A and B are shown apart, each in its own frame.
Chain A
Amino acid sequence: MADHNNSHNSHGGERHEHGSVKSYVIGYIISIVLTIIPLVVVMNDMMGRTATIAVIMVTATLQFLVQLVFFMHIRDGEQPRWNAITLIFGILILLTIVVGSIWIMGNNQIGMKM
């Protein structure tokens, strides 16, 4: 009864958790680190082309996950997590469009060079 306003996280996730200042600060710090890593790698030409692309994409994806977990609270909420399921569906379409376009247009360019 006493904790009306803050943490009501102990009862099976019926209500959404709202995080705490601590979790927001942690998310913010991780985000900054994940932003600085690719910046340093790119600006100083530290790695080869493939490795650089890998670092950029991995840090970007991790940072997207940090936003989802620490700021957007995707893990909270009630059990059938329709928001997460919707998002996964969206990412499936995203990957189909982006990877499919790269694949097809890449093949096109190879075909035109011959």
Chain B
Amino acid sequence: MAQSPAHGSDHHDHHAAGHHDPQDIKLLGFWIFLVTDVILFSTLFATFIVLRNNTNGFEGGADLFNMTGVIAETFLLLTSSFTSGLAVLAMHQNKVKPMIIWLVITGLLGAGFLALELTEFVELVHEGATLQTSAFWSAFFTLVGTHGVHVTIGIGWMISIIIQIVRRGLNDDTKGKVTVFSLYWHFLDAVWIFLLSIVYLMEVM
């Protein structure tokens, strides 16, 4: 059996290279969504870079960023990206329980990231840096906040997937959802790397 259909699905025709199975089409569709998200973030990054010197006489990021918190956020998100990958690995071995455990750990790490980020935002607002303070802070909160909203949506999405799997078990459909979720989560980590680099590191250097 040279071409073993790996996921036991019944709709596998091998005779034409151009024929995809529905999960592959869904995966490609999700990649296209991710690319639209790349475009969204590229406009926000461009805005931030262009406006980064316009601080309106107020303190900029170099004075107010709390790098300890930012570094902790980075490692939380990096680790959660890793654990969501482990969840997918467990899924492909049809180990439902380990998969759910890894997903929950991913979610908890994501929640920790969000908690740190919100703490950071609250501290900044207390220091007087709000959306209205200066072009720099407007661009900062929009860019970093949009990423935070993505993480929030990701956590909610993941909880709904776990509920579905508990109810319906692992099948082609729920497997596709976990795969797509992990792609989304890795993507958010990739975006955060550039946030850390361009927003935080280049500001404090």
Q: Which residues on B sit within 8 Å (CB–CB) of A83?
A: 27-28, 31
Which one of B28, B82, B88, B201 has the highest number of Cβ atoms from chain A below 10 Å of its Cβ? B201
Closest to B7 in A: A15
Q: Which residues on A sit within 8 Å (CB–CB) of B131?
A: none
Are B202 and A53 interface neighbours, CB within 8 A? Answer: yes
CA distance A86 to B41 in the complex (A): 16
Binding site for B on A (CB under 8 A): 1, 3-6, 8, 11, 14-16, 18-21, 24, 27-28, 31-32, 35, 38-39, 42-43, 45, 49, 52-53, 56-57, 59-60, 63-64, 67-68, 71-72, 77-79, 82-83, 86-87, 89-91, 93-94, 97-98, 100-102, 105
Binding site for A on B (CB under 8 A): 1-8, 14, 17, 20, 24, 27-28, 31-32, 34-36, 38-39, 41-43, 45-47, 49-50, 67, 71, 74-75, 78-79, 81-82, 85-86, 88-89, 92-94, 182-183, 186-187, 189-190, 193-194, 196-198, 201-202, 204-205
14 residue pairs bridging A and B, Cβ less than 8 Å apart: A4-B4, A8-B6, A16-B27, A18-B88, A24-B82, A45-B205, A53-B202, A68-B190, A82-B28, A83-B31, A89-B35, A90-B34, A90-B39, A101-B49
